[in-house]
Amino acid sequence: MVVGFNSAANLMFLKNACMMPRSCNKILLPALSTSKIGSRKYSSQSDEYTHVIVGAGSAGCVLASRLSEDSANNVLLLEAGPKDTILNSFRLLWKIHMPAALTYNLCNSNYNWYYHTTPQKNVNNRVMYWPRGRVWGGSSSLNAMVYIRGHAHDYDRWQSEGALGWDYDHCLPYFKKAQSYEHGEDTYRGGSGPLHVSEGDASGPLHQAFIEAGKQAGYPYTPDINGFQQEGLGPFQMTVHKGRRWSSATAYLRPALDRPNLHTKVRTMTEKIIFEGSKAVGVQCMENGTPTQFRASKEVILSGGAINSPQLLMLSGVGNADDLKEMDIPVVQHLPGVGENLQDHLEVYVQNKCKKPITLYSAQQPVNMVKIGVEWLWRQTGMGATNHMHTGGFIRSKPGITHPDIQYHFLPSQVIDHGRVAPEYHAYQVHVGTMRETSRGWLKLKSKNPNDHPIIEPNYLSTEDDVIDLRQCVKLTREIMNQKAFDEFRGEELRPGPEYQTDSEIDAFVRAKCDTAYHPSCTCKMGSESDPMAVVSNEAKVFGLENLRVIDASIMPSVVSGNLNGPTIMLAEKLADNLRGRPALHMPNTPVYQPESLLTQR
């Protein structure tokens, strides 16, 4: 779900405009000693940290902030990528901090792991591009900033899947704790947390047409998709504050950098967890090309995300023993679920030309982009200060479903190939995808080299149910887009196009054009120790090992109905309390919207 101002001229203009001196975070480092492991010499710090966190992404920044609130802790946060750049108190790196420029980050290997899947046999053997953040803030510094929590029933499902204590009533208070909602605190929304959440301006004619068309098609309106009624169409919210991206690095990490017990390292690639028997005692890394070790007296915490965390576990001898032996990696703990259960959301774009010149196409022309960029650099206002996804929602694909399983993002623009191709027309589009795919994938090591990306097999559309559900997405979306509310704007359908009408034709379109919604998850699933595929306990402790946790989107038992940044921050907040020995927050019996009848609700 992306929009951006794509122009080489604008890129160079803003890049040159931003070439100013940088300030650095000063870190006092303990003395170093050296040790030798294998044929490589590693420098080892003589002072131990209490906690070593691997990955400064959506979860890692939360953990670093919360754990360093306790003066008895001495926390080290490691990041393989760079900082998100700061000049005094102003976030200078426009490509990350300017909300409308987000497509530059999705296509920039400087801040992005730039992953690719295996050829997907059920989607015309296409190799799918998976951008993931490799920078302070992780993917929250690259994403489309849409703030979605998922449905209450998703978390009740987690509980039924073996993640005890992760039902909605135990998760909601941590969503609230994390958040400062611009409309203030209520039963469902927080008002004083680090993560600022604002509402997009849904007053534009195309956004209003989308909401009204939903009503005309029989779907409910909801004023707050993250509140009581997590169903229907309405305004969307975003992690944007005062015209800037509000990543986890901005929300959590930067305000904590002056604490003497929080230390950070960037461009530090963690290669392996160090074990003494079954106890994790540290990590070995390459820090700016120098082999280094860091020791942890309490916990090593992996927060690298759904790809990096299982990869690091396997590199360290934790995973399927047969696979590790094939790689000649000594087995520390046999856990066959590591890298399994990979889940993601697929989506397609339904696009129409617009008969009126009121889309973002004009703003995406070079002269206008420069004007927009200058205004944003000067004031953080204007069209550069938003993600432009101001409306969307959730509907049900068929009667009888417990909660909505189709998500919409409406955008008054045209996106082609992750934003890597410039838009061609005045157009508007709906990003539509299913929320509970039944296909399951996996990832495995390609080699013992930590710099080799793992083999990523999402196994898209491997079940007939998933094909039928995406077909239904196209049909229901066309129905909405053809309502009276769009009559004055609706031009030619660009995608799928009039030539795709029958079920088999729509299926062919889906296989040719579906793509990731950027939500990989569940590769180190949380659950009961009796579940052979579970990797971590309900406290995120890796089974069979001591002092080792995984805390990121990889531990979700199943993917939630929506975008993952908000839920990942929530689970990190909840587990930070657990790490600090605090009782879990609980809001019992919180009301959740239910339609009068599941059989008649659209």
| pLDDT tens column, 150-177 | 999 999 999 999 999 999 999 999 999 9
Confidence at residue 20, expressed as pLDDT on a 0 to 100 scale: 30
Least confident of 196-205, 295-304, 416-425, 518-527: 416-425
Confidence at residue 598, expressed as pLDDT on a 0 to 100 scale: 83
Asked: is 94-131+199-237+343-516 a CATH 3.40.50.1370 domain? The reply is no
- What gap in Å lies between CA 365 and CA 377, rounded to an integer? 18
Q: Are 392 and 480 in contact (CB under 8 A)?
A: no
Question: Could you tell me the maximum CA-CA distance found in the chain, to the nearest angstrom?
Answer: 72
pLDDT at 16 over 90: no
User: Beta-carbon neighbour count of residue 348 at 10 Å?
Assistant: 24
Rounded average pLDDT over 121-138: 97
Q: How many CA atoms lie within 13 A of 180 on its CB side?
A: 11
Residue 276 tokens read as 């003494």
198 Cβ neighbours under 8 A, 6+ residues apart: 182, 237, 238, 240, 241
State the fold for domain 47-93+132-198+238-340+521-582: FAD/NAD(P)-binding domain (3.50.50)
Confidence at residue 524, expressed as pLDDT on a 0 to 100 scale: 98
Give the model's confidence band at 2: pLDDT under 50 very low, under 70 low, under 90 confident, else very high: very low
pLDDT at 38 over 90: no
322 Cβ neighbours under 8 A, 6+ residues apart: none
When the pLDDT of each residue in the chain is averaged and rounded to a whole number, the result is 91
For the residues of 58-124, what is the DSSP string, one character each?
A: HHHHHHHHHHTTSTT--EEEE-SS-----BTTB---HHHHSGGGHHHHHT-TTSB--EEEEEEGGGT
- What gap in Å lies between CA 105 and CA 417, rounded to an integer? 14
| pLDDT tens column, 410-460 | 999 998 877 778 888 999 999 999 999 999 999 999 999 999 999 999 999
Least confident of 22-26, 299-303, 306-310: 22-26
Rounded average pLDDT over 481-487: 98
| pLDDT tens column, 290-299 | 999 999 999 9
- The DSSP code for 476 is H
- Phi and psi, residue 419, nearest 5°: 85, 5
pLDDT at 31 over 70: no
Is 519 in the active site?
Answer: yes
Its pTM stands at: 0.92
Give the model's confidence band at 44: pLDDT under 50 very low, under 70 low, under 90 confident, else very high: low
Least confident of 80-89, 264-273, 513-522: 80-89
Kindly report whether the peptide bond that precedes residue 496 is cis, defined as omega within 30 degrees of 0: yes
Domain ranges of the chain: 47-93+132-198+238-340+521-582, 94-131+199-237+343-516
Question: Catalytic residue among 116, 241, 519, 586, which?
Answer: 519
Confidence at residue 17, expressed as pLDDT on a 0 to 100 scale: 33
Confidence at residue 335, expressed as pLDDT on a 0 to 100 scale: 98
pLDDT at 518 over 90: yes
pLDDT at 30 over 80: no
Rounded average pLDDT over 105-132: 94
